């Protein structure tokens, strides 16, 4: 296991045993079989381990450089990028007409767990390009598709997403970048965008920027925003990059993490010579951006998961190897041999905390991907609405909960490594630094929580929440069949009940003068929902595992012998794995789910202190 960058046994379990992704192999995905998926996962793991992983530490050390107005990426990224693109990974999810393989999102995200674990900042270049090209695929004219999209999907050119400005971060509607109509129907773009990931680099000869801007005279706020395609170099008739389009890089940021990903300030039209083409219709900028939002937010959730994944793998391997101290039961024995730190209860507790969160957020993100795919291949409108409703509800949780828990898992990894973990000789401190950004970009986690509480809970008149509760109750009924799970399952039952009541309470407050209570508690609410959804998926897995174990014991005729069952853990990998799934759910229940009721009660208490404390009393 120490050599694996993610736990592939758990990945296979979630995809096939828990979700049953074979159900998706119809309509658009009719050509897929388990064999093709296994082959793709295999190839993805090889690409991640052999090609991308070696660029991780070097990329972090070297970082991006800014000289004479140009940005260069770490040297080792060039060869890896070439191989990644040649391998067809750049647009594997897209349709074959565009060079892709129509890969289900469930499969593509499973592949991206490998890629992200290997090196998040590297993978941001193709990821952003793919997202930008996806917008052109849906909203572009045939000419724009021909001119830009094909070259982006193939990885020949890069792409970005340009929203943020110095005065417009979370409040995108405050943007100042402007677009002036030109007689030929195109627009002259002027303004400054900051923090633009992959905004400039030397991996590709051209970069296409979708830029949010306001056409002169259009209304203030998000209503007046349009989106434009702004290439770094204009495109010649033969498709090659031509004249410079007056997009200048002002600087790059010096950052805590993702140092191989160039975060740029871009100045559009300093010389009044930056031309943009409208994408879609005027004032549809936000609607167009929203179209890619679910996919993009899930991608960020996947970053949190992937870094947590590799941090956990490294921690278990380290804990097995690191010899330090004697076993607690040998404390008074002066001749006791030193043991590996894996034998210390505190380390075992931390590792199980990490394992339960990694497996919880893997199940969560894979489930959300599965819901997205299911909506695409649904047979009836009702079915489609059910899956899409779950997507809408779960996306802010995937993004915010996975990035927060991912960061906490990386922090525990450093703890497991002790002083070595804090030093750059081992990679876990880099994982922590690389992970932090996931809670900030693509809409901060605070904004995700407001989206959840302010919009998503009430969507479809609360039907999405009811669907989710229905799915959880179905799994609970299954899990109740296994008496050994019962004491722990009670925590999930209690947590679900408390959270359901809190959700109803929020619904009532939302319509009253106390609506600020849900707003104030949006972030803790999102965490509670994340805990309950992960707890549900972990128990769903535990019940499945209990069933599998029963079958193995029956087959071997050891149903009644606990001693023989315990002995089997040491010789049979599947038995060890399924036992691990049960232990994981139990631990999550007793340490996390057990606190849900108290946290719900504390929110219902209705404390308004943060709202009422005077600004001056903050003390600075």
Ligand X SMILES: Cc1cc2nc3c(=O)[nH]c(=O)nc-3n(C[C@H](O)[C@H](O)[C@H](O)COP(=O)(O)OP(=O)(O)OC[C@H]3O[C@@H](n4cnc5c(N)ncnc54)[C@H](O)[C@@H]3O)c2cc1C
Catalytic (active-site) positions: 442
Q: Which residues pair with 67 in a beta bridge?
A: 70
Burial class (CB in 10 A: 0-12, 13-18, 19+), 513: exposed
Beta carbons within 8 Å of 196's beta carbon, 6+ residues apart: 160, 161, 162, 164, 209, 263, 264, 265, 266
* Closer residue to ligand X (CB): 169 or 260: 169
Beta carbons within 8 Å of 143's beta carbon, 6+ residues apart: none
Closest approach, Cβ 448 to ligand X, in A, equals: 9
Closest approach, Cβ 444 to ligand X, in A, equals: 3
**Tokens found for residue 501:** 């009541």
Q: How many helices (H) and strands (E) does the chain have?
A: 21, 14
Closest approach, Cβ 169 to ligand X, in A, equals: 2
Closest approach, Cβ 71 to ligand X, in A, equals: 14
Cα–Cα distance list, 142 to 25, 31, 111, 222, 370 (Å): 30, 27, 31, 27, 31
* Closer residue to ligand X (CB): 171 or 484: 171
* Alpha-carbon gap, residue 321 to 318, rounded angstroms: 5
* Closer residue to ligand X (CB): 389 or 530: 530
Give the binding site for ligand X (CB under 6 A).
160-164, 169-170, 195-197, 255, 263, 437, 440-441, 443-444, 446-447, 450
* Alpha-carbon gap, residue 167 to 269, rounded angstroms: 18
* Closer residue to ligand X (CB): 15 or 258: 258
* Alpha-carbon gap, residue 456 to 465, rounded angstroms: 9
Contact between residue 498 and residue 601 where contact means Cβ atoms under 8 Å apart: yes
Chain residue at closest Cβ approach to ligand X:
169
> Which parts of 301-446 are beta strand (E)?
323-326, 338-340
Q: Which residues pair with 208 in a beta bridge?
A: 159, 231
Tally of CB atoms within 10 A around 6 = 24
Beta carbons within 8 Å of 42's beta carbon, 6+ residues apart: none
* Closer residue to ligand X (CB): 164 or 315: 164
Q: What angle do CA 289, 295, 299 make, to 5 degrees?
A: 120
* Closer residue to ligand X (CB): 438 or 492: 438
Closest approach, Cβ 612 to ligand X, in A, equals: 17
Closest approach, Cβ 166 to ligand X, in A, equals: 8
The shares of helix, strand and coil residues in the chain, as percent rounded to the nearest 5, are: 65, 10, 25
* Closer residue to ligand X (CB): 119 or 160: 160
**Tokens found for residue 427:** 């990679």
**Tokens found for residue 156:** 């020949």
* Alpha-carbon gap, residue 169 to 220, rounded angstroms: 16
Closest approach, Cβ 573 to ligand X, in A, equals: 40
Tally of CB atoms within 10 A around 443 = 21
Closest approach, Cβ 608 to ligand X, in A, equals: 16
What length is written for the chain? 620
* Closer residue to ligand X (CB): 355 or 456: 456
Nearest to 354 by CA among 315, 398, 301, 300: 315
């Amino acid at each position: 296991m120490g050599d694996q960058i993610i736990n592939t046994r758990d990945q296979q379990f979630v995809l096939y045993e828990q979700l049953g992704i074979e159900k998706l192999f119809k309509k658009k995905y009719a050509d897929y079989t388990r064999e093709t998926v296994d082959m793709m996962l295999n190839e993805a793991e090889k690409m991640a381990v052999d090609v991308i992983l070696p660029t991780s530490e070097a990329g972090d050390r070297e970082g991006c450089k800014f000289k004479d107005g140009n940005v260069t990426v770490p040297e080792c990224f060039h060869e890896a990028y070439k191989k990644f693109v040649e391998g067809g990974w750049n647009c594997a999810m897209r349709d074959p007409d565009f060079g892709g393989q129509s890969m289900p999102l469930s499969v593509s995200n499973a592949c991206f767990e490998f890629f992200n674990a290997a090196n998040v900042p590297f993978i941001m270049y193709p990821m952003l390009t793919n997202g930008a090209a996806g917008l052109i695929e849906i909203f572009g004219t045939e000419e724009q598709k021909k001119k830009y999209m094909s070259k982006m999907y193939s990885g020949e050119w890069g792409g970005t997403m340009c929203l943020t400005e110095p005065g417009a971060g979370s409040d995108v509607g405050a943007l100042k970048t402007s677009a002036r109509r030109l007689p030929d129907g195109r627009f002259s773009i002027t303004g400054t965008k900051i923090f633009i990931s992959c905004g400039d680099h030397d991996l590709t000869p051209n970069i296409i920027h979708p830029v949010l801007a306001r056409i002169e005279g259009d209304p203030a706020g998000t209503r007046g925003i349009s989106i434009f395609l702004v290439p770094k170099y204009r495109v010649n008739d033969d498709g090659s990059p031509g004249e410079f389009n007056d997009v200048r890089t002002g600087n790059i940021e010096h950052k805590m993490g993702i140092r191989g990903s160039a975060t740029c300030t871009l100045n559009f039209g300093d010389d009044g010579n930056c031309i943009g083409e409208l994408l879609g219709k005027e004032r549809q900028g936000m609607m167009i951006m929203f179209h890619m939002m679910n996919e993009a937010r899930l991608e960020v959730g996947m970053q949190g998961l992937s870094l947590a994944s590799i941090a956990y793998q490294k921690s278990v391997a380290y804990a097995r190897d690191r010899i330090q101290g004697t076993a607690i039961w040998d404390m008074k024995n002066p001749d006791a041999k030193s043991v590996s730190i894996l034998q210390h209860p505190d380390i075992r507790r931390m590792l199980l905390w990490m394992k339960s969160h990694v497996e919880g957020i893997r199940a969560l993100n894979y489930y959300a991907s599965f819901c997205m795919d299911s909506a695409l291949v649904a047979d009836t409108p009702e079915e489609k609405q059910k899956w899409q409703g779950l997507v809408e509800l779960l996306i802010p949780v995937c993004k915010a909960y996975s990035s927060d828990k991912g960061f906490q898992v990386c922090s525990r990894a450093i703890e497991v490594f002790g002083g070595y973990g804090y030093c750059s000789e081992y990679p876990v401190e880099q994982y922590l630094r690389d992970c932090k950004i996931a809670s900030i970009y693509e809409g901060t986690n605070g904004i995700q929580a407001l989206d959840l509480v302010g919009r998503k809970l009430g969507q479809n008149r609360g039907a999405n929440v009811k669907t989710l509760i229905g799915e959880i109750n179905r799994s609970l009924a299954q899990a109740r069949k296994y008496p050994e799970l019962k004491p722990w399952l009670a925590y999930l039952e209690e947590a679900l009940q408390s959270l359901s009541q809190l959700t109803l309470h929020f619904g009532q407050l939302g319509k009253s003068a106390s609506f600020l209570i849900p707003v104030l508690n949006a972030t803790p609410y999102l965490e509670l929902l994340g805990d309950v959804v992960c707890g549900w998926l972990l128990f769903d897995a535990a019940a499945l595992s209990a069933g599998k174990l029963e079958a193995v014991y029956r087959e071997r005729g050891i149903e009644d012998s606990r001693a023989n069952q315990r002995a089997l853990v040491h010789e049979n990998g599947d038995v060890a794995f399924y036992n691990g799934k049960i232990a994981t759910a139990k631990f999550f229940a007793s340490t996390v789910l057990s606190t849900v009721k108290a946290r719900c009660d504390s929110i219902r208490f209705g404390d308004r202190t943060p709202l009422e404390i005077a600004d001056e009393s903050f003390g600075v």
